[in-house]
Amino acid sequence: MSTQPQQQSSSSQPIAFVSAQALRARMHDAVNNPHLRQSFRGAMDFLMAKRAAQFPDQDELDSLRALSEGIRQYSLSRLPDLLEQLEANLTRNGVKVHWAETPDEANAIMLDIARRHSAKLIVKGKSMVSEEIEFNHAMEAAGVGALESDMGEYIVQLAGEKPSHIIMPAIHQTKQQIAKLFAEKIPGVDYTDNVDALIRIGRNVLRDKFESADIGLSGVNFAVAETGTLCLVENEGNGRMCTTVPKVHIAITGIEKIVEKLEHVAPLYSILTRSATGQAVSTYFNMISGPRKAGDKDGPEEVHLVLLDNGRSQAYADEQLRKTLQCIRCGACMNHCPVYTRIGGHAYGTTYPGPIGKIISPHMMGLEQTHLLPTASSLCGACGEVCPVKIPIPELLIRLRGEANSAPHAHPAMVGQGAAYDPKISFVWRMWARLYGRPATYRAFSWLATRFRALTPRKQSGWTVARTPLQPAPRRLRDMLKDRR
């Protein structure tokens, strides 16, 4: 692992992420799509209520958040050591550990494993890191099938889409849309919008695939350094199938998903499921500690772990930005985000949407492509308020805005630093600082602005798109005070 920022070549991201201009267009389309607005509003309201019901006691929540934050910060403070310890213990357990700096490297490692086993089909449990590296795309390009087995991911894959939420990938789809999709894409299936029937259809398709797949792929929620254990949180049992039925299991995760001890997992697991889906516990909690041993009745013969950097080292190297890596991927920030609720996950154009996506994507993709994302927030603070590990998301959004605005090469810590630098905008803010930083100048300006308020422009940039114009009052507060005294 390198602690230097990695320059990413444009080819290292298999899909072209969107330009700032295209992002604006997608946001515009999304807010003007009443169906999308209504469905996300309903879904997010549901998830917020479910989470709230899990935390009736504010004091308990406060202390669990503080504990969880402490565990994540402690883990990150020892990250290089813990990664070495994890590798040593996994190796001792018979797990092969691979290190990947870029998505391309990660895909090459896994393709190599697939080729050694002449694999034709990889069946996948839910993994956002596999989305991050465009795993399915890379495998298919090399002639290896990759099939999603999480129901939401399966729907999204069938529809040729990407997840719109990190926990509920198909949350943007209605049951009618899914019914239509299944009838169109799955041979022999008639249209039904009965949810139980739809799930049964999906399950039947996937059941066969678990048995015929050569490799199972999964993500990792917590990697325990002290024991060399990979913990996987899931609800559908497909994660257990992927990690036990095929002969080979490949787990992939980001380098930050590590904790030192098993006892550190329990509070994080508790706050993860309660924050994410409002469940006290998930239906399945898998602890994977190596391949099948002599006498074991099931389990894979070979287990691999791919540890991906992809810009995480850049965040790690800066004390403030490092907090980004505390994330346990619960999705509560997007569930509570008024912007996400209105534009949905796809508009972001990044693997990770919502508030966490705005602060982590710049490290993965560079600020050239992502500098508009941190600005698309009213800084309302709802994300920071619900974050189970207390990532100060608004503070990090402001920091990233500053990195993007500053003159290029002013601060070499980030790829794409200065990407939003605009000499004209910078000049405006310098003038603003002179105006408001000198009380006498401000007094003169505010006197003129109020006395000549009739000259206030009627078109006021984005403000008057949907509002009546602002106009200074006839007299300032300080004038009114003087008149009175």
Which lies closer to another protein via its Cβ, residue 294 or residue 477?
477
To another protein, the closest distance from the beta carbon of 175 in angstroms equals 25
7-46 positions binding another protein, by CB under 8 A: 24, 27-28, 31-32, 37
Which residues 6+ apart lie within 8 Å of 4 measured at CB? 313, 317
Closest to another protein by CB, 295 or 423: 423
Give the distance between the most distant pair of CA atoms in the chain: 93
Determine, following the binding rule CB under 8 A, whether residue 243 of this chain makes contact with another protein. Answer: no
Among 380, 412, 413, 452, binds another protein (CB under 8 A): 380
Q: Tell me: does residue 400 bind another protein (CB under 8 A).
A: yes
Q: Is 335 helix (H, G, I), strand (E, B) or coil?
A: helix
* Cβ-Cβ contacts under 8 Å for 442 (sequence gap 6 or more): 435, 436
Q: Which two tokens stand for residue 448?
A: 């003129």
Closest to another protein by CB, 293 or 430: 430
Distance CA 257, CA 329 (A): 10
Residues 337 to 366: which contact another protein by CB under 8 A?
A: 338-339, 342-343
Nearer to another protein, 15 or 455 (CB): 455
Residue with the two structure tokens 């357990």: 93
CA dihedral 464, 468, 469, 471 (to 10 degrees): -160
- Do residues 362 and 377 make contact, with C-beta atoms less than 8 angstroms apart? no
For another protein, the closer of residues 123 and 343 by Cβ is 343
Q: How far apart are CA 170 and CA 164, in angstroms?
A: 6
Number of residues that bind another protein (CB under 8 A): 73
| 265 binds another protein, rule: CB under 8 A | no
- In angstroms, what is the minimal distance from the CB of 209 to another protein? 40
Residue 93 DSSP class:
T
Residues 56-85 that bind another protein (CB under 8 A): 58
State the binding string over 137-176 for another protein (x if CB under 8 A, else -).
Answer: ----------------------------------------
Do residues 145 and 212 touch, judged by C-beta distance below 8 A? Answer: no
Interacting residues with another protein between 439 and 478 (CB under 8 A)? 439, 442-443, 446, 449-450, 453-454, 456, 458, 460-463, 465-478
Closer of 203 and 476 to another protein (Cβ)? 476
Out of 217, 382, 389, 419, name the contact with another protein by CB under 8 A. 382
CA distance to 111, 172, 177, 274, per residue, from 341 (Å)? 37, 11, 20, 20
Contact 321, 256 (CB under 8 A): no
Q: Left if phi > 0, otherwise alpha if psi is -120 to 50, otherwise beta: which for 354?
A: left
Can you tell me which of 205, 299, 402, 451 binds another protein, judged by CB under 8 A?
Answer: 402
Tokens of residue 419, six digits: 């990407």
Minimum Å distance from CB 425 to another protein?
Answer: 9
CB of 382 to another protein, least distance (A): 7
Return the structure tokens found at 203.
Answer: 């399950």
Among 204, 378, 411, 444, binds another protein (CB under 8 A): 378
- Min dist CB 108 to another protein, Å, is 37
Give me the 303-342 binding string for another protein, x by CB under 8 A, dash otherwise: -----------------------------------xx--x
How far is it, in rounded angstroms, from Cα 30 to Cα 22?
A: 12
